[in-house]
């Protein structure tokens, strides 16, 4: 078969199948180009590596951690508050548990929190934003956006804390609490994009050819909002992890003996400055995770931003 390129074909002679094939080619090319741009920036690549490392460490924590049992209800008062040593690389905590092992397991709940919250938040947030933006200046827009404004009226952390405080404190409820307060940010982001996109020719063209509303929302408007959404997601995951750590810091998140970075820092803070390692290493772990996601997010943003250059 003759190779299918954009120059060998005249637009008028294209069949639907060929159009789709062309779209696939250009999409693959775009993906390659984006990856090329992304990989040219060493900082984004470092971010990606940090994130990958953290994810791998968290996933394989049970096999990597030197003392997996220390992630549970375990006490060894003889070895409590030991400084870093070859036996305990990062020292032990106030009841003799290996801090390295607990950090590895703690990263699991941090990452789980980030992933679960975003997957709960993004679909409804985006859907509402698409609806409100497409039905701009109708009652649907008014209703959705006014409710969104109310949720945006206070910083999300404080409402999340309030919800978490009335629920049973545990990891799942803290995820629920944060999710409940996070969707409006996506609604507002997508709303702004969708109100602009609804006047674009390709949307109007779809309307006059009688495409269904669902088609217009998801096949015409939505694909054009993906890059800002992805950028926001990669930066937000870091935020969710920080907020999760704050919830567990105050005791409204993961409950002991289950390890979480926030709880470890809160407990360790009581032993400052003499047993500094109890608080400092979990804190470092959070900083590294958040740094990784931020670098990655910036890389993704630059990759999409330099499109025109």
Partner 1 sequence: MVSSPTPLLEIRDLAVNFAVYGGELRVLDGVNFRMFAGERVGLVGETGCGKTTMMKAILRVLPTPPARIPRGEILFKGKDILKMKERELRSVRGTGISMIFQDPTAALNPVFTIGAQMHAVIQSQAQNNHRSIDRRKIWQLAVSALKDVALADPERLLKSYPIQLSGGMRQRVCIAMALSTNPEILIADEPGTSLDVTIQDQILRLLRDLVEKRNMSVILITHTLGVVRELTNRVYVMYAGSIVETAETTKIFSQPLHPYTRGLIATVPRLTGGGIASGIPGRIPDYRNPPIGCRFHPRCPHVMEICKQQKPPLIEVEPNHSVACFLYSPTPKVEL
Partner 2 sequence: MSMLRFLIQRALYSVFVLFGLSIVIFIIARIMPGDPARMAVGARAPQWVVDRLREQMHLDKPIAVQYYYWLRDALRGDFGISLITQRPVTSDIMETLPASLELALYAAVIAGVLGIGMGILSARYKDSWIDNLSRLFSYAGIVTPSYIFAILFVLLFGFTLKWFPIIGRVSEDVPLPPKITGLVTIDALLQGQFSTFLDALWHIVLPSLSLAMGSIAQAARITRSSMADNLTRDYIANLRALGVSERLIMSRFLLKPSLIPTVSILGLDIAAILSVAFIVESIFNWPGMARYGMNAMLYKDLNAISAVILVFGAAFALMNILVDLVVAYLDPRIRLRAAKGE
Specify the residue, 116 or 291, whose C-beta has the smaller distance to partner 2.
291
Burial 60-83 (b: 16+ CB within 10 A, else e): ebeeebebbebbeebeeeebebbe
Binders in 149-178 for partner 2, by CB under 8 A: 149-151, 153-155, 157-159, 161-167
Specify the length of the chain in residues: 309
Q: Which residue of 104, 113, 286, 296 would you call a contact of partner 2, by CB under 8 A?
A: 286
Q: Tokens at residue 145, please?
A: 């956006």
Binding part of the chain for partner 2, among 12-20, 76-84, 209-217, 282-290 by CB under 8 A, reads 282-290
Binders in 207-266 for partner 2, by CB under 8 A: 238, 242, 245-246, 249-252, 265
Specify the residue, 156 or 222, whose C-beta has the smaller distance to partner 2.
156
Whether 120 contacts 179, CB under 8 Å = yes
Specify the residue, 213 or 306, whose C-beta has the smaller distance to partner 1.
306
Instruction: State the nearest-atom distance from the C-beta of 29 to partner 1, in Å.
Output: 16
Instruction: State the nearest-atom distance from the C-beta of 309 to partner 1, in Å.
Output: 4
Instruction: State the nearest-atom distance from the C-beta of 228 to partner 2, in Å.
Output: 17
Specify the residue, 55 or 162, whose C-beta has the smaller distance to partner 2.
162
HSE-CB at 189 with a 13 A cutoff on CA atoms is: 24
Binders in 58-117 for partner 2, by CB under 8 A: none
151 binds, among partner 2, partner 1, none (CB under 5 to 8 A by kind): partner 2
306 binds, among partner 2, partner 1, none (CB under 5 to 8 A by kind): partner 1
251 binds, among partner 1, partner 2, none (CB under 5 to 8 A by kind): partner 2
Give a three-class secondary structure readout of the chain.
CCCCCCCCCCHHHCCHHHHHHHHHHHHHHHHHHHHHHHHHCHHHHHHHHHHHHHHHHHHCHHHHCCCHHHHCCCCCHHHCCCCCCCCCCCCECCCCCEHHHHHHHHHHHHHHHHHHHHHHHHHHHHHHHHHHHHCCCCHHHHHHHHHHHHHCCCCHHHHHHHHHHHCCCCHHHHHHHHHHHHHHHHHHHHHHHHHHHCCCHHHHHHHHCCCCHHHHHHHHHHHHHHHHHHHHHHHHHHHHHHHHHHHHHCCCCCCCCCCCHHHHHHHHHCCCCCCCHHHHHHHHHHHHHHHHHHHHHHHHHHHHHHHHC
Site membership for partner 1, residue 39 (CB under 8 A) = no
Please name the residue that has the structure tokens 């039905």.
135
309 binds, among partner 1, partner 2, none (CB under 5 to 8 A by kind): partner 1
Residue 137's CB is within 10 A of a number of other CB atoms, namely: 8
88 binds, among partner 1, partner 2, none (CB under 5 to 8 A by kind): none
Specify the residue, 33 or 219, whose C-beta has the smaller distance to partner 1.
33
Site membership for partner 1, residue 309 (CB under 8 A) = yes
Instruction: State the nearest-atom distance from the C-beta of 119 to partner 2, in Å.
Output: 23
78 binds, among partner 2, partner 1, none (CB under 5 to 8 A by kind): none
Where along the sequence are the contacts to partner 1 (CB under 8 A)? 37, 40, 306, 309
Residues lying near partner 2 in the complex (CB under 8 A) are found at 146-147, 149-151, 153-155, 157-159, 161-167, 238, 242, 245-246, 249-252, 265, 269, 272-273, 276, 279-280, 283, 286-287, 290-291, 294
């Amino acid at each position: 078969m003759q190779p299918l390129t954009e120059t060998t074909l005249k637009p008028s002679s294209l069949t639907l199948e060929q159009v789709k094939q062309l779209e696939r080619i250009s999409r693959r090319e775009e993906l390659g180009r984006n990856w090329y741009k992304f990989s040219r920036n060493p900082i984004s690549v470092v971010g990606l590596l940090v994130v990958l490392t953290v994810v791998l460490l968290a996933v394989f924590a049970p096999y990597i951690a030197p003392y997996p049992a220390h992630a549970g209800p375990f006490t060894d008062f003889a070895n409590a508050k030991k400084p870093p040593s070859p036996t305990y690389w990062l020292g032990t905590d106030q009841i003799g548990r290996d801090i390295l092992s607990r950090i590895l397991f703690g990263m699991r709940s941090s990452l789980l929190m980030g992933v679960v919250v975003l997957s709960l938040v993004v679909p409804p947030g985006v859907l509402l934003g698409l609806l409100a933006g497409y039905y701009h200046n109708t009652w649907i827009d008014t209703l959705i956006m006014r409710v969104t404004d109310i949720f945006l009226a206070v910083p999300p952390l404080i409402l999340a804390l309030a919800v978490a405080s009335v629920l049973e404190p545990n990891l799942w409820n803290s995820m629920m609490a944060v999710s409940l307060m996070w969707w409006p940010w996506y609604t507002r982001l997508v709303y702004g994009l969708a109100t602009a996109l609804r006047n674009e020719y390709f949307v109007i063209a779809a309307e006059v050819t009688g495409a269904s509303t669902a088609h217009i929302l998801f096949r015409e408007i939505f694909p054009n909002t993906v890059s800002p959404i992805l950028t926001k997601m990669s930066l937000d995951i870091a935020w969710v992890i920080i907020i999760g750590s704050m919830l567990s810091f105050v005791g409204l998140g993961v409950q002991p003996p289950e390890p979480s970075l926030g709880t470890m820092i809160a407990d360790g803070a009581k032993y400052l400055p003499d047993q500094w390692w109890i608080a400092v290493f979990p804190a470092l772990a959070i900083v590294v995770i958040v740094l990784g996601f931020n670098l990655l997010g910036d890389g993704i943003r630059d990759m999409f931003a330099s499109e025109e250059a």
